[in-house]
Amino acid sequence: MAIGTANCGVVIGTTGQSSFGTTGAAIAAGAGNSLVFTAPVAFAPGLATDPLDNTATVVDVLSGASGASTDSDIRAAQVTLAVSKTDNSSTYTPGGSATYLVGVANTGVSDALNVTVGDTLPAGVLLSGNVTCAASGAASCGTVTGSTGQGSFAATGAAISAGAGNFLTFTVPVSFAPSLADNPLTNTATAQDLASGATGSATDNDTLAAQAVLTVIKSDGSPTYTPGTTATYTIIATNAGPSDALTTTLSDPLPAGVTLSANATCVATGSASCGTVTGTTGQTSFGATGASIAAGAGNSLTFTTPVAFASSLVVDPLANTVTVTDPASATPASATDSDTLAAQADLAISKTDGVVNIVPGTTTTYTIVVTNNGPSDVVGATVSDILPAAILGDSWTRSRTPCSPTSAPAQPGRCRIRRR
pLDDT digits (tens, 9 = 90+) for 306-362: 999 999 999 999 999 999 999 999 999 999 999 999 988 778 888 888 888 888 888
Compute and round to an integer the Cα radius of gyration of the chain.
48
Distances (CA, A) of 375 to 262, 306, 313, 369: 19, 18, 11, 18
Mean pLDDT of the chain: 91
- What pLDDT is attached to residue 282? 98
d(CA 246, CA 239): 11
| Cβ-based neighbours of 145, under 8 Å, separated by 6 or more | 131, 153, 154, 155
Indicate whether 414 pLDDT > 70. no
Band of pLDDT at residue 415, cut at 50, 70 and 90: low
* pLDDT for position 399: 65
pLDDT of residue 387: 77
- Those residues with Cβ within 8 angstroms of residue 48's Cβ, 6 or more apart along the chain or in another chain: 75, 113, 195
What pLDDT sits at residue 406?
39
Band (408; pLDDT cuts 50, 70, 90): very low
pLDDT tens digits, residue range 198-254? 999 999 999 999 999 999 999 999 999 999 999 999 999 999 999 999 999 999 999
User: What pLDDT score does 358 carry?
Assistant: 82
- The pLDDT, as a whole number, for residue 409 is 37
What percentage of the chain reaches a pLDDT higher than 70?
94
Which listed CATH number (2.60.40.740, 2.60.40.1660, 2.60.40.1240, 3.90.1580.10) goes with 214-341?
Answer: 2.60.40.740
| pLDDT (0 to 100) of residue 407 | 37
Amino acid letter for position 145: T
pLDDT digits (tens, 9 = 90+) for 258-295: 999 999 999 999 999 999 999 999 999 999 999 999 99
pLDDT at 400: 59
In this prediction, residue 398 has a pLDDT band, given cuts at 50, 70 and 90, of: low
Q: Which of 28-42, 62-76, 163-177, 355-369 is predicted most confidently?
A: 163-177
Q: Which one-letter amino acid corresponds to residue 198?
A: A
Among 31-45, 78-92, 226-240, 245-259, the minimum mean pLDDT is found in: 31-45
On the question of pLDDT at 161 being above 70, the answer is yes
| Cβ 183 vs Cβ 168: under 8 Å | no
Q: ∠188-191-196 over CA atoms, to 5°?
A: 150
Fold topology of 81-208:
Immunoglobulin-like (2.60.40)
Sign of CA dihedral 150, 151, 157, 159: positive
Return d(Cα 79, Cα 106) in angstroms, integer.
7
Q: What is the pLDDT of residues 102-158, one digit of tens each?
A: 999 999 999 999 999 999 999 999 999 999 999 999 999 999 999 999 999 999 999
Res. 174: pLDDT tops 50: yes
